[in-house]
Amino acid sequence: MKRLICALLSLVLLFALAACGGGKSNDAPSASTAPATSSAPPADSGEKITVSIQFSFPEMQARSTQAILDKITADSGGRVQFETYYSFSLYGPPDVVGALQDGLLDMAGFMTSEYPGLFPLNGLLMGLPFLGFRDISSATAIYRDLVVNYEPLRKEMEDAGIIYYSGWVLPPYQLHSMGNAAITEPDFSGLTMMTENGFMQKMINKYGGAGMLSFPPDFYSNLSNGVADGIVNHLNVLSAFGCLELIKNTTIFGDGGIYVYPLNYGISPSFWNSLPDDIKAIFLKYADELTDAGLEYDLQMLVDNAAFLEENANVIHLSDAEIAAWKAAFEDTRVEALAELSAANPAAEETYNKLLDAIKNYK
């Protein structure tokens, strides 16, 4: 843990220096209105520091991470106070990163996968289907190590003008449908399936379906109104947005799912650079604890939501051989995806191989 904290400190300092030089990317989404964010007072002034932070999930699911923020407040002697927003209530998925870059939010959770122009490696590559992650605990350890210590992933965050602080890998994305039977083979004939993954969308289209790129605020209405016949997503987000009770069939691709995505917590460079050193040290002290708290909560919620589905839906667990057949069906799309990613970032293939090695050798 001490090694990761030291690496995070070096990484944050590097990002802060880059931000001073104007590291904002040209293809960043624009942010609109925002709460007033307070500049931090000078060191040792004793004045309060108000931190605006936005979570992507509802308040009920933020208890474990909120507990870590409370520790930061306590360690600062009450100087740090968090102004908390939930469920994208200020900025939706297209605008969170822009709000951080522009200093309209001080901290926020965001998914790199939702900003393909900024994060082809941290987002799209990490979300390639059938990479073979064992589970989200190992995936979190692998990703956290790479984003801090592996230059292409680290530099991508730096170039985006975001200070990477913490995060974890979300639960595995599984296949859910509203029909009379579970989808156990790669055949989506006549089905409209929601997904947040462009490569999964291509696979759905290739095998007879219509892949619909969609985000959490639209999940419930699309499923309940028959706009979509199913969805590829994880159980916890379906529960958070009221969709779990709508699901009739679920196909489980093991503990690693079809794919996974990291949820990252970023800090605005302008906010970070305004903080006194003693406050920065307190934030860094709790970076790993925030990761652990979020991951542990997601794991417990995953157990509870899986139990609910086992009782209320038709749940099929695929064998290793059946998952291998899906992976083979995705192969052409994987080759196309890597070529597309390599065109966006020359380090894509090297990063892909680095990721596969880390998955294979993880103990």
What is the model's pLDDT at position 93? 84
How far is it, in rounded angstroms, from Cα 259 to Cα 131?
7
CA atoms 317, 259, 233, 306: torsion sign: positive
- Each residue of 38-76: pLDDT tens digit? 444 444 557 899 999 999 888 887 889 999 999 999 999
Do the bridges between strand 230-233 and strand 174-177 make them parallel or antiparallel, or are there none, so unpaired? antiparallel
Q: How far is CA 234 from CA 89, 276, 299, 306, in A?
A: 21, 39, 12, 10
- Contact predicate 147/164, CB 8 Å: yes
What is the model's pLDDT at position 39? 46
- Contact predicate 119/133, CB 8 Å: no
How far is it, in rounded angstroms, from Cα 328 to Cα 138?
24
Question: What 3-state DSSP class applies to 202?
Answer: helix
How far is it, in rounded angstroms, from Cα 263 to Cα 56?
9
Place of tokens 């799209």: 124
Torsion, Cα 217 219 222 227, to 10 degrees, reads 130
94: Cα within 13 Å, side-chain hemisphere: 8
Nearest to 193 by CA among 211, 208, 207: 211
Sites in the chain below the pLDDT cut of 70: 1-45
Torsion, Cα 124 126 128 132, to 10 degrees, reads 180
Give the containing element (helix H, strand E) for 188: none
Helix axes 63-75, 277-285, angle to 10 degrees: 150
How far is it, in rounded angstroms, from Cα 40 to Cα 12?
17
By the 10 Å C-beta count (0-12 exposed, 13-18 middle, 19+ buried), 46 is classed as exposed
